[in-house]
Amino acid sequence: MEQQKQDETEGKEECQLCRITYSIYSNFPPMPSAMALNAETGEWFPFDRLKSYSNGYEMAEALGYAWACDCRERSRNRFDEQFVLRDRKGRPFANARYRARVGLNVVASGVTDAAGRTQRISTKDARRLTLEISAGV
């Protein structure tokens, strides 16, 4: 009985990733000249911005690893899509090497299948996603 009660409570709490992230960055002293890196986009931003967020999830998002979070609904802000690559005549690029980039970071790479499909590509900001195709094999 006690155990069940506890489980219910934990389901509404933040996951370990969010909790730890928050406990780390909310306790940092101000560092006006320091920069932090978003691991997903490869972009730097002022480190002190992290302290302005009210929870660990927003911090993790800014740092580019919110995809590892377990306590938020991932699909809400997240773009997760499979692409079909086609040439100008609409024919699929079968067995084509591709790379998906967000900014300078390669977030996925592989070879399309016979129907020109990529693997599922998951990223926070689909507007910044770039697909590059190398010559077919």
Chain positions contacting Zn ion, by CB under 5 A = 15, 18, 69, 71
Nearer to Zn ion, 72 or 101 (CB): 72
Secondary structure letter of residue 49 according to DSSP: G
Nearer to Zn ion, 71 or 133 (CB): 71
Helical axes 56-63 vs 16-25, angle rounded to 10°: 80
> What residues contact 37, with CB distance under 8 A and at least 6 apart?
43, 44, 63, 64
> What residues contact 66, with CB distance under 8 A and at least 6 apart?
57, 60, 72, 124
| Closest distance of CB 109 from Zn ion, Å | 28
| Closest distance of CB 16 from Zn ion, Å | 8
| Closest distance of CB 67 from Zn ion, Å | 10
Nearer to Zn ion, 40 or 93 (CB): 40
Helical segments of 26-124, H only:
56-63, 74-77
Nearer to Zn ion, 19 or 117 (CB): 19
| Closest distance of CB 9 from Zn ion, Å | 15
